[in-house]
Amino acid sequence: MFAADYLNHQRLVADLLGPEAIKISAALYRVAFPGLHVRVEEVSTVEDTVLLRWTASNSSDRLDNSNLASEPRSLTGITRSRIAAGKIIESWTEWDRIDVLDELGLLPTD
């Protein structure tokens, strides 16, 4: 599904490309959020581009003793991928970072 030189422009693991980068990123997300569930809300295509609107939620209790409440959390995002020769060659993802930073207590309060 992913080209050997696939590039995720918001990658978690620097200097790692291709399907291996996706495998490692997915594993990291699964460790951090064991109850992770991603629901596809909408898919559209234009020429060589696929737009995917999604909602991610975490139904599990937190793994550590952070200040996050243990009730389920969710966020929304959009991923734009470019396709060539039937493979995803690059993608960009945007998600609601402000809401997540707020929940983590990382936004200024004044």
Residue 78 binned pLDDT confidence (cut-offs 50, 70, 90): very high
Q: Does 108 fall in a domain?
A: no
The model's pTM: 0.76
Q: Percent of the chain, pLDDT > 70?
A: 85
Q: What is the CATH number for 21?
A: 3.10.450.50
Q: Does 28 fall in a domain?
A: yes
- Residue 56, classed as helix, strand or coil, is strand
Report the distance separating Cα 54 and Cα 88, nearest Å.
18
Q: Does 109 fall in a domain?
A: no
* pLDDT tens readout for residues 26-42: 888 888 778 889 999 99
Q: Does 79 fall in a domain?
A: yes
Mean pLDDT taken over the chain: 83
Report the distance separating Cα 38 and Cα 92, nearest Å.
17
Report the distance separating Cα 32 and Cα 19, nearest Å.
20
Q: Does 90 fall in a domain?
A: yes
Residue 105 dihedral angles phi and psi, to the nearest 5°: 75, 25
**Domain that includes residue 55, residue range:** 2-103
Q: Does 26 fall in a domain?
A: yes
**Number of domains the chain contains:** 1
